[in-house]
Structure 1
């Protein structure tokens, strides 16, 4: 069955059968590998960070060791980076930041791996389709040149079929390749920013700033608003008393 499929593709695409098959196969492999990475990141939720934010405990040595033990079993990138950060918790803050920057650059390359190849395939395949169009037209005009009689549809069918089929095949591969390259790139940037934000929170937490784990959430702003409203209410009460005392 595979041989018959190859023969059908060969009849439709001509000399460009193998280049198109290679581009389509690479696109499929890269997309499947990226999707597997995304699923792995989504399934491995970082519930430990949410629990740590709710507790907001001080970064004691015992708490650090508990987190390292917990994160050593995690598979997400944020868990791995957090374990690396906590294992260097005794280092100065600038040293920890340098370690995190180096680690984040490596993870960014990992998240964006294969996307450039996917983008290149999206650029090359329409050009291959255009090349097939030119080859199909050349073949069509060659058949017309060899014919001494009137032009028949059968003489035009082979050349025009090759021209149209290669163009269609190139676009069918290029459109998903370019689209998924951009979408996966956006997800990679968003995931890198999320990981960097979580690690920066932990880095400040190691410096003794417990509220660092709440940076970026709406809960601290609600608390601050409630405190400000309470202070304003308390501040207005003595003023009312002072104004009413002379009347007594």
Structure 2
């Protein structure tokens, strides 16, 4: 099974499209997961003009643009319909949505119901444009911290138009022993996109916190994770998240040049058919 490897552009946002394409191509990626959101590579109101330009710039370096990352959580959000339409015209297949915050114990069911109503509209918008909106697993005070809650959110939605975006780092943070594996299994029919980052726990000021660390230095058991992806028949893109907070662009590029080959090696070694 051959997966398409994408570079998430979040920490390369000071690069223009040409430089982005050049750097990402040199790193060995197949394409880019481009931020189209406030403070991103493209502001939502500029998508109509800039997204086609980004696609053409990346194409010069033999890079595809199968995915964008947005902050939309409702089809009525300003510029959501326009961004979905322009993305579809540019051949984008997957559109990452934003997040719903889980703030108070006792509010879970109400928040699930609210999010599902929002996803109804998103699903219609995605179907109209023949794209797939994906909901990301994110640890912490987010509704989708738990894969089991995400599975509840996605019930009855056609995964062709609304699917799961499983982040290895985040599901290991919330289920580091076997919860990640059970969560991945319960989502197996819905997984359309995967993210790769690694986390480690650190004790600071008498509190435990997680930070992104280089691939292979954290809690993610990569070979097991990739083996599970193969078992469920996952065939979507994999977005590599070099979210090294406080690092310079050059530092991020340098580390990602090490991370990607390692991820590919772990993926290859997880394939029993080799």
TM-score (norm 1): 0.20
Task: Specify which structure has the bigger relative contact order, considering alpha-carbon pairs within 8 angstroms and separated by 6 or more residues.
Answer: 1
Structure holding more strand per residue: 2
